[in-house]
Amino acid sequence: MPEGHTVHRMARDHSKHLAGQTIRLCSPQGRFAAEAKRLDRKRLTSVSAHGKHLFYRWSNPKTRGGRETVMHVHLGLYGKFRIHKNPPPPPRGAVRVRMIGDLRTIDLNGPTKCEILTAPLFRKLSDRLGVNPLDPNANPELAFVRLSKTKKPIGSALLDQSLIAGIGNIYRAEILHLLKIDPEMPSYKLSREQLEEMWRLTVDLFKIGVKQNKIITVDLSLLNKPISRLTKDERLMIYKKQKCSYCHGAVRKWTLGARTMYACPKCQR
């Protein structure tokens, strides 16, 4: 499943290719046909992301005050976008939605969610999501308060999208390793300083991820080769490694929060 930085990068790229244009919309697969007909030939005003969720806003001049219509996409485990130059090739696989702009066409295959949200449903989803690290107006205090009240291990809590939106399995392992925090530590035991440091690190790593379009947690100032030439193993500190990048001791691997956790028993006591 894509982590938050990837989804924000998609929002940025899709906005660049399609926002401000009148879009031709169709559903080659047929499962979004009625909704696509409703949005076809409407103007896409913006594309935004919150955590792992994408929101496409379409102008709707037929509604009172020209209220926007929101299309919500959550890729899940199997969802994927493909971007084509126009004219696009024939749809490949089960394309749920095809969005055709002036110069680019974007196809969506296999999402967990692709739906039009009413205003109440949009508010309900927004209220359910946690603080967005890539929102310049985010209030991390909301996450701090919730984390300070739960006995859930911090390694599990970081996967809870109602706390901090966008952190997935790789980021949680890397963040806790960089901060030398035991993933099994109950969340309420983290100090205020640790919570603030965790937030700052998350924001910094997400910004790097969006810019480079990949997760990078190693110190960029210490790299001796171009970022584009780094392997996944070279970009990460602990995830799927056998030895700790700090002490070179054996990495522990176990299930935490229904996902595989990686940590150093020595450095993350």
pLDDT for 66 equals 57
88 is a catalytic site residue = no
Catalytic residue among 42, 52, 98, 172: 52
Same-domain status, 153 and 103: no
Total domains in the fold of the chain: 2
SS (H, E, C) 56-118: EEECCCCCHHHCCEEEEEECCCCCEEEEEECCCCCCCCCEEEEEECCCEEEEEECCCEEEEEC
Catalytic residue among 146, 152, 259, 266: 259
pLDDT for 228 equals 87
Look at residue 134 and tell me if it is in a domain. no
pLDDT for 223 equals 84
| Each residue's pLDDT expressed in tens, for the chain with a length of 269 residues | 789 999 999 999 999 999 999 999 999 999 999 999 999 999 999 999 999 999 999 997 555 555 789 999 999 999 999 999 999 999 999 999 999 999 999 999 999 999 999 999 999 999 999 999 999 999 999 999 999 999 999 999 999 999 999 999 999 999 999 999 999 999 999 999 999 999 999 999 999 999 999 999 999 888 888 898 999 899 999 999 999 999 999 999 999 999 999 999 999 98
Look at residue 182 and tell me if it is in a domain. yes
Among the three residues 99, 128, 157, which one is the final residue of a domain in this structure?
Answer: 128
pLDDT for 62 equals 58
Among the three residues 87, 105, 128, which one is the final residue of a domain in this structure?
Answer: 128
Phi, psi of 263 (to 5 degrees): -155, 160
82 is a catalytic site residue = no
pLDDT for 259 equals 97
243 is a catalytic site residue = no
Catalytic residue among 3, 35, 68, 174: 3
pLDDT for 225 equals 86
The domain in which residue 77 lies consists of 4-128
Selection from 22, 10, 46, 211 nearest residue 100 by Cα = 22
3-state class (DSSP) for residue 127: helix
3-state class (DSSP) for residue 188: helix
Same-domain status, 146 and 109: no
Catalytic residue among 2, 28, 140, 153: 2
259 is a catalytic site residue = yes
